[in-house]
Amino acid sequence: MELGTIFNSKLLLFGEYGLMYDAMALSVPFPKFTGFLDFDVDQSHAESTAAIRNFCTHLKSGALNQSLHFPFDLERLESDLDKGLFFNSNIPQQYGLGSSGALVAALFGKYAFPSNLGNTLSPEILKANFAVLESFFHGKSSGLDPLISYLNKPILIDSQKQVIPVDFDLQKTGLVVSLIDTKTTGATGPLVKHFIDLFNLPEFARAFEGQFIPANNGCIESLLNGDIQNFFLHLEKLVRFQLYHFHEMIPAGFHRVISFAHCEKVYIKLLGSGGGGYLLAFAESHDVLDRWSKKRGVELLKLV
């Protein structure tokens, strides 16, 4: 891929955290925010260049190279870094939109060798390799975010962990979907660790298996089947689970917002790992969502 190829951000509609424990997931590209590799001619992006250089150093690890299905042209990458290579991006960081995933996809597209390698690897293998690469940023990664950015297609992770590009258009579901900006950021790594630690509690493990996974998977299956009535039944259960069990992942000040919205038929869930960034709101009609947002003074970034 050429320098300057644009990579979209993503929206993980369903599957946050559950991806790590056999839940289904559905993620779509989000072209409102994008990024591409560029050269820093005015030397105003030193932080981005430094981050990529640290990533390059990480790639030099022999153990890491052995776990990948492809080599990186590190000599060319280092040469370009010396010329001021950076990631020219308007994707908000720590906002649940896959900023690091888009960066990983861009670096893979430009520096993985040979250049057409991505066309010969299955989505499952690509995702596994992207998980190794993106773990540099988060400590643990599913690899889904870079995969979405790289393929630029909606991706379903089914109950058998198959990675399936799907013909899905959020615009055609009949749902009203918006983003809510929490005006804060959330670091993925500590929240993922907190989530993993929760499984030390037997009651959480049982609730996750018996409540989260059926609600999460039900949302995805209903959405893909066009069954909006059952979709909202599953979504209500998912929102209740997150309110009760994902307290740390919900940004401060939004627990009551989500609770009251739920009572007014507006269903708000995490987008990605949470902790800040955007929340995802669903409603059956624009009237329902607009009436609620005006009443509560909540600004919306409408998707459909």
Report the 3 state secondary structure along the chain.
CCCCCCEEEEEEEECCCHHHHCCCEEEEEEEEEEEEEEECCCCCCHHHHHHHHHHHHHHCCHHHHHCCCCCECHHHHHHHHHCCEEEEECCCCCCCCCHHHHHHHHHHHHHECCCCHHHCCCHHHHHHHHHHHHHHHHCCCCCHHHHHHHHCCCEEECCCCCEEECCCCHHHCCCEEEEEECCCCCCHHHHHHHHHHHCCCHHHHHHHHHHHHHHHHHHHHHHHHCCHHHHHHHHHHHHHHHHHHCHHHCCCCCHHHHHHHHHCCCEEEECCCCCCCEEEEEECCHHHHHHHHHHHCCCCEECC
Angle in degrees, 0-180, between the axes of helices 228-245 and 255-263, rounded to the nearest 10: 150
**pLDDT tens digits, one per residue of 161-220:** 899 999 999 989 989 999 999 998 877 778 888 998 999 999 999 999 999 999 999 999
Residue 118: per-residue pLDDT: 60
CA pair distance 201, 245, nearest whole angstrom: 12
Tokens of 56: 């390059």
Determine contact, residues 269/280, Cβ cutoff 8 Å: yes
Residue 65: per-residue pLDDT: 65
Please state the pTM of the whole predicted model.
0.90
Segments of the chain scoring below 50 in pLDDT: none
Residue 1: per-residue pLDDT: 64
CA pair distance 125, 303, nearest whole angstrom: 31
Other Cβ atoms within 10 Å of 73 Cβ, number:
15
Other Cβ atoms within 10 Å of 3 Cβ, number:
13
Degrees to nearest 5, angle at CA 88 with 117 and 75: 45
CA pair distance 244, 274, nearest whole angstrom: 14
CA pair distance 153, 167, nearest whole angstrom: 8
273 burial type by CB count under 10 A (0-12 exposed, 13-18 middle, 19+ buried): buried
Residue 119: per-residue pLDDT: 67
Residue 189: per-residue pLDDT: 78
Residue 86: per-residue pLDDT: 96
